[in-house]
Structure 1
């Protein structure tokens, strides 16, 4: 894998790892093949439009809103 590009498959794998809440950003970066979090964070931002921490927060908020809406809707 190119260290400068976060291929789509690896990006989604990293996102899944982060969503479990069991892995930090640095863990996910290393698991998908990055030696440093800086290039991982840049490519994650490029691919998903937000850095990993903010992306996770936005996804969790969306899930929470959806869950609350479905319970009361």
Structure 2
């Protein structure tokens, strides 16, 4: 079963970003997921399948009502 991800979710990735942070904010959801590093604000776009494998946990979920 695939996890549900929403705009504004804060996730922790398995690998550390070169700037030293593991925390990312989801800024776009679709076939590709765009995430923004919370420390250096770099934006990266990766396919959903790779994203789901690389995410460790959801720190803060932003569920729409």
Q: TM over 0.5, yes or no?
A: no
Structure number with greater Rg is: 1
Of Structure 1 and Structure 2, the greater helix share is in: 1
Shorter-chain-normalised TM-score: which range?
A: 0.3 to 0.5
